[in-house]
Structure 1
Amino acid sequence: MTLAIQELNPDFYLSIDYPQENGIPTSAAKAQLTKLVETLYADGFAAQIRPGDASHLLVFIKLLSSKCIDEIEKDLVKSFEFGVTAKDDVYSARLRVINKYLRTRKSIGGCGITPNAGEWKFVNDIVPITSAFDDSTLIEDLKSSFTESPVLTTNRIKNQYGIKIALYFEYFKFYMLWLVSLSVIGLVSYFKVKKTYSLAYTLVNLLWGTLFITFWNRKQSFLVNFWGVQNCHLVEEHYSELAELNSRHEPKNDPAPQESRRYVLFLKQLAFVPIALGFTAVLVSYQLSCFVIEIFLTDVYDGPGKSLLTLLPTILISVFVPILTIVYNLVIAQVIKWENHDNSYSRNNSVLIKTFVLNFLTSYVPLIITSFIYLPFAHLIQPHLGDIKSTISTYVTKDRFYYKYLIMLKKQEDFKMNQNRLNAQFFYFIVTNQVIQFILKYFLPLILAKLTDLVETKLLKKEKFEPKDEPTEAVWLHNIRSSLKRPVYDVNDDFRSLILQYGYLIMFGPVWPLAPLVCLIFNLIIFRVDQFKLANAKYFKPPLPSRSDSIHPWNKSLFFLTWVASVISPVVTAFYRHGTQPPKTLGQLALKNASVNVSSFLKLMLLMFTTEHGFLILSYTLYRLSDLFKSDIEWQNDFGSNDLKLRLEYYKDKEKPNIVMINDVGWEGFTVENTLGLAAPSDTDAAIEKIDTPKGGYSTSAQANITQAASRVEEKTKEIEQLPDTVPVPVPAVVDDKVEDISTEPIVIGSKEALDKIKDSTDEIISTKNSEGDLQYSTIDSNAHAEVTKVFPREDVSTSTSSNQAPSITSSSEVSRSDSMNSSSRDSRDKGKKRSGLKKIFKSKK
């Protein structure tokens, strides 16, 4: 019995384009599929094919143990040369090595299959097979995530999904633990001190941020050393050079990029600074323009429709920012291509750093505008309301229908600036925005998926693709197919959310000291939902396992945000430490009716200088001191700059992987021909399958055909048992495990004399030898070759077959059929096609 595809434990599935015309695949599609399968088998893989949807195929692959252990050994030696001591003894490490082997170019020992690029453009994606595809409903998974103990511990996440995702959850837990202490401090400040803009809380908040990033670096260093992945970024950076060096075994020093290449890359990265500044100017200018429109509509305008018009700035921002983001990302893609990074580690970090520029501007600029423009200067609008009205009259002609509305402005005595604007904005970003993002992130994808199905089936009348799967595979394959249109999971998106939340707390935390507590509550929920999302394939395709020795570049973002906060947070506190209402006693820099109250410009500069330099000095001191508290494993893993050749010679004989290989049961019988044959039913419904029977059972479609013909064969078997030995016996023919219609050419059993009596006038008797050298006779009629067995004594007839021969049909008359046919049929059998007897098969099936 053939094992179900999920029981074969494939490593990955490849989604490939397989366009069809009138239900028949195009010749180009067939050629591409053949090329892919032949490449896979040539490089040590076995493959199986299942239909994906109307225009895609799913190619399930497994790297056979002999090749897999070889690749893991190579990867282990490369890793140890740079001080990476992990033995790759977990499932995620195996998938990581196989994925790298698949994508690495052939010149340095890989398969060179690069999805959506070059000659492999028809390959859409390479997706690992995980437990996320198991049968379960969304409600069941969600209920278990919140009512049962956590299933995904950090160790299990590391084993299944790789180091980088495990680091995300470790950072998440560490961050929440530190939020507990800040929440307690915020509660005390809010209820006991009863001050929102407290200078003491501001300094404590900055100290908390400095300690947090320092202790996280220490925690991170311990984790990566404990997991044995320290310095793994060096392997990624120099993988290509290292692979070429190891293949040649040339005595060279450490494979560092040439100095000229380093400088060229650095200069190209510097060239992006003007581009970033240009986008910054565009975005900030647009935000300021929307801010002016908003102030005009909320504080100055007094005409009809005001409540609706105040939504206009929000709509303008919501429409413009996504468009600008798309353009910005397109520019980044071209710049990254121009920078020509030679490894994915450097390329991904460059992309993340560039995108963070836009994330910073869209997240924090509105609060900065309110803090440093609106509240200090909005009161200046009141005495100039008349000037605003006259300006409108000058530049807008009176024949415009909206002229009469534009000049409907508030009177000076009615003007009142929004003193609570900063508090309201900060509350929005901490509470309302997080609720909206939670819905968009976790509920909207499910809703859109349902709506898409409804639109396709109800409105567009699109015929639903319904493949004929085996019952044992149907549910599992349905879960696989449902992931085809889903995005790839990127843990950096989750990192980005947490980092931006940290930025709100560290820069504007004094505005509302209860913000850490609110964020802690949100994070407790998000943490469990993120675990559920990772273990359930209803949101994303399972991520490709990867390893990392830090959360880089997000640790740099943490430092940058804390450094910016050391300037912004004290200034905001100094401005509004008496509240955002105009102070009764004006200070030296205070203007009439202004919200800002600074008694001394010198004190303000001294505060900024002290907090900013204090942060830099304290963070540097703590960073150096933390090195004194390394764990034993960190001291053991300290990496020296030994010669690469020496490390190569040392490690290649000493270090061997201790990973337990998953057996290849069920895969060893698959070949290029029978794998490609699995795509044949897609050609046409009337296509005749020619699929080999692998060891361990028959193909799925062959099983179905055999089952349908079982009753017919049983009847014919009874007839065989009642016939003499020398009469023509029509029997069902078995071709490639498929039961054909009853043969019109009878199989004749007997001697030459018996054949001579029953043959037609047009028949010719020929003599041949079977594979064992025994003489046999056959008749030829119209180029049809009917097989005839040599007459054996009844007592010599064997009912058993050798392992490399097809089983004989055994009746009460003990008739045996020979394997041998003419040379063409023997050649076809040499290609892997087997012919099987029927009675023995059907009795076992029944």
Structure 2
Amino acid sequence: MATLSTLYKSSKEKLEDNFGVDYVIHYEIPAKEKDEAEGAFTQLILELTNIGLATEVRAGEKSSLLVFLKAASEKYLKSHAYKARLQDWLHGVRLAAPDKDVAKYFEEEPVSEAERLRLIYLLITKPKNEGGAGISPQSGTWKYVQSVFPLHNHAFNRAWIKEWSTKYILDDSDITKIRDKFGEKVALYFAFLQAYFKFLVFPAAFGFGTWLLIGSFSWLYAIANSLWTVVFFEYWKQKEADLAVQWGVKGVSRIQHRRPEFQFDRETEDPVTGEIVKVYSPVKRLKTQLLQVPFAITCAVVLGFLISIAYSIEIFISEVYNGPGKSVLVFTPTVVLTLGVPTLSTLLTKVAHKLTDMENYETQDGKYTFYLRETSSPS
């Protein structure tokens, strides 16, 4: 079995790159299921080794183990990166096919840290028939696997925080650094916040001006604010598309990744391609989806009741109550909403997540598209 210790050169390099660790698997061994858990652990290490990952095990807290992972060979990792980029080109995400001269190609377009982590995570979680280990935390054979996570790069974090603390606005190079380090999703989030922050200058300044000149309530400000939202929305749509093209991820949703948790009812042959396809009954999924109806009603009733209570308290204190402590009691509705809404939203979101898992989607995109639709309800 390959070990991580053979892959490092100096203690300084180890500290700067988190000892070269790409991912860590947190594995729990319950005392009552020790034999079964140890057998599954042996299988875990074999599966990880078979997909080209070097492993090293350390004791965790109490009865848990920590499995440190790293690509055993940079050449092997680049071969997966090449295949992934070729797949992107075949699906129309990339405009040009990767150069056949692999060594020269990766000198010009090296594998970023975000791409490296994404590729290794896919290797860990993809089904075996697609070249992965098929490891799904807290599910089936892998019920003792609690989580799979990368480590923080503390040296990078310190340098990043120090650099950002000296500026108010991020430039394109900062967004590119985020993209290379954490991936396109996180970079898009920061790019959105940057654009939103800049655009908020206008409604803030215009609102302050109308408050001084017109008063607290202004139809002019309402109209200007409505037009501002339309302009910002259209601007961000264009900006998001530009960034997607620039980063080579436009249309990436066409590439679907199968979920290792997917449970199929039967296998059938695709009439077009002849490929064996795993099928889950749409009737069973529809029955589970119908549970969203009472769930959505429950969300509306629970959160609506909480908001009604808060507004009732506010009206009572501001319009009826004239006793002692009124200046302090006026903050009661704010306290009720601040404590109640996040708590209830967290609970209802967990229920929504469970219901989505029960619907047994074949791909990750299928699951999260429906999950986002659920969590955009009153919860």
How far apart, in 2, do the equivalents of 1:119 and 1:238 lie? 17
2:124 alignment partner, SS class: helix
Quick check: 2:259–2:362 contact (8 Å CA) kept in 1? no
How far apart, in 2, do the equivalents of 1:78 and 1:282 lie? 46
Q: CA deviation at 1:277?
A: 2.8
**Map of 1:103 onto structure 2:** 125
- The residue correspondences of 1:2-17 to structure 2 (distance < 5 A) are 3=8, 4=11, 9-17=20-28
2:64 is the alignment partner of 1:34: no
- The residue correspondences of 1:716-755 to structure 2 (distance < 5 A) are none
Identity of aligned residues (%): 26
Deviates more, 1:91-100 or 1:337-346: 337-346
Q: Which protein has greater RCO, CA pairs closer than 8 Å, 6+ apart?
A: 1
**Map of 2:231 onto structure 1:** 211
Quick check: 1:43–1:111 contact (8 Å CA) kept in 2? yes
Aligned partner (choices 134, 155, 175) of residue 176 of structure 2: 155
2:60 alignment partner, SS class: strand
Q: CA deviation at 1:158?
A: 0.9
- The residue correspondences of 1:462-541 to structure 2 (distance < 5 A) are none
Q: CA deviation at 1:216?
A: 0.9
Root-mean-square deviation over aligned CA pairs: 4.0
2:115 alignment partner, SS class: helix
Quick check: 1:12–1:128 contact (8 Å CA) kept in 2? yes
Opposite residue 165 of structure 2, the aligned amino acid is: F
Quick check: 1:238–1:255 contact (8 Å CA) kept in 2? no
**Map of 1:82 onto structure 2:** 91
**Map of 1:186 onto structure 2:** 207
**Map of 2:273 onto structure 1:** 252
How far apart, in 2, do the equivalents of 1:225 and 1:40 lie? 34
How far apart, in 2, do the equivalents of 1:133 and 1:98 lie? 21
2:92 alignment partner, SS class: coil
2:240 is the alignment partner of 1:220: yes
Quick check: 2:25–2:66 contact (8 Å CA) kept in 1? yes
Quick check: 2:54–2:70 contact (8 Å CA) kept in 1? yes
How far apart, in 2, do the equivalents of 1:85 and 1:91 lie? 19
How far apart, in 1, do the equivalents of 2:258 and 2:30 lie? 39
In the superposition, relative to structure 1, how do residues 141 and 224 fare at CA in structure 2: closer, same or farther (>3 Å)? closer
Q: Count matched residues.
A: 343
1:358 alignment partner, SS class: coil
In the superposition, relative to structure 1, how do residues 188 and 90 fare at CA in structure 2: closer, same or farther (>3 Å)? same
Gaps of 5+ in 2: 99-108, 261-268
Opposite residue 40 of structure 1, the aligned amino acid is: L
- The residue correspondences of 1:287-686 to structure 2 (distance < 5 A) are 287-302=307-322, 316-317=336-337, 320-358=340-378
Opposite residue 146 of structure 2, the aligned amino acid is: N
1:114 alignment partner, SS class: coil
C-alpha distance after superposition, 1:628-652 (max 9, x if no partner): xxxxxxxxxxxxxxxxxxxxxxxxx
In the superposition, relative to structure 1, how do residues 305 and 10 fare at CA in structure 2: closer, same or farther (>3 Å)? closer
Opposite residue 254 of structure 2, the aligned amino acid is: L
2:138 is the alignment partner of 1:127: no
**Map of 2:193 onto structure 1:** 172
1:190 alignment partner, SS class: helix
C-alpha distance after superposition, 1:464-502 (max 9, x if no partner): xxxxxxxxxxxxxxxxxxxxxxxxxxxxxxxxxxxxxxx
2:57 alignment partner, SS class: strand
In the superposition, relative to structure 1, how do residues 92 and 255 fare at CA in structure 2: closer, same or farther (>3 Å)? farther
In the superposition, relative to structure 1, how do residues 65 and 347 fare at CA in structure 2: closer, same or farther (>3 Å)? same
Q: CA deviation at 1:74?
A: 3.2
Opposite residue 24 of structure 2, the aligned amino acid is: Y
Opposite residue 216 of structure 2, the aligned amino acid is: T
Q: CA deviation at 1:307?
A: 6.6
**Map of 2:165 onto structure 1:** 146
Q: CA deviation at 1:34?
A: 2.6
In the superposition, relative to structure 1, how do residues 189 and 136 fare at CA in structure 2: closer, same or farther (>3 Å)? closer
**Map of 1:73 onto structure 2:** 82
**Map of 2:215 onto structure 1:** 195
Q: Give me the TM-score of the superposition, normalised by structure 1.
A: 0.36
C-alpha distance after superposition, 1:220-271 (max 9, x if no partner): 111101211111112136799xxxxxxx99963999999x95x986886576
C-alpha distance after superposition, 1:664-716 (max 9, x if no partner): xxxxxxxxxxxxxxxxxxxxxxxxxxxxxxxxxxxxxxxxxxxxxxxxxxxxx
- The residue correspondences of 1:252-291 to structure 2 (distance < 5 A) are 252=273, 261=282, 269=289, 272-291=292-311
C-alpha distance after superposition, 1:322-362 (max 9, x if no partner): 55334422431332123222222232233333223335xxx
Deviates more, 1:201-210 or 1:300-309: 300-309
In the superposition, relative to structure 1, how do residues 134 and 304 fare at CA in structure 2: closer, same or farther (>3 Å)? closer
**Map of 1:230 onto structure 2:** 250
Q: CA deviation at 1:146?
A: 1.3
2:217 alignment partner, SS class: coil
Aligned partner (choices 98, 113, 126) of residue 135 of structure 2: 113
In the superposition, relative to structure 1, how do residues 225 and 252 fare at CA in structure 2: closer, same or farther (>3 Å)? farther
Q: CA deviation at 1:18?
A: 4.8
How far apart, in 1, do the equivalents of 2:222 and 2:313 lie? 32
Q: CA deviation at 1:157?
A: 0.9
How far apart, in 2, do the equivalents of 1:186 and 1:11 lie? 48
Q: CA deviation at 1:318?
A: 5.1
Gaps of 5+ in 1: 241-247, 360-846
Q: CA deviation at 1:91?
A: 2.4
Quick check: 2:270–2:277 contact (8 Å CA) kept in 1? no
Opposite residue 159 of structure 1, the aligned amino acid is: D
**Map of 1:46 onto structure 2:** 54
- The residue correspondences of 1:800-839 to structure 2 (distance < 5 A) are none
1:197 alignment partner, SS class: coil
C-alpha distance after superposition, 1:799-828 (max 9, x if no partner): xxxxxxxxxxxxxxxxxxxxxxxxxxxxxx
Q: CA deviation at 1:127?
A: 1.8
1:126 alignment partner, SS class: strand
Quick check: 1:92–1:158 contact (8 Å CA) kept in 2? yes
C-alpha distance after superposition, 1:371-420 (max 9, x if no partner): xxxxxxxxxxxxxxxxxxxxxxxxxxxxxxxxxxxxxxxxxxxxxxxxxx
Opposite residue 206 of structure 1, the aligned amino acid is: S
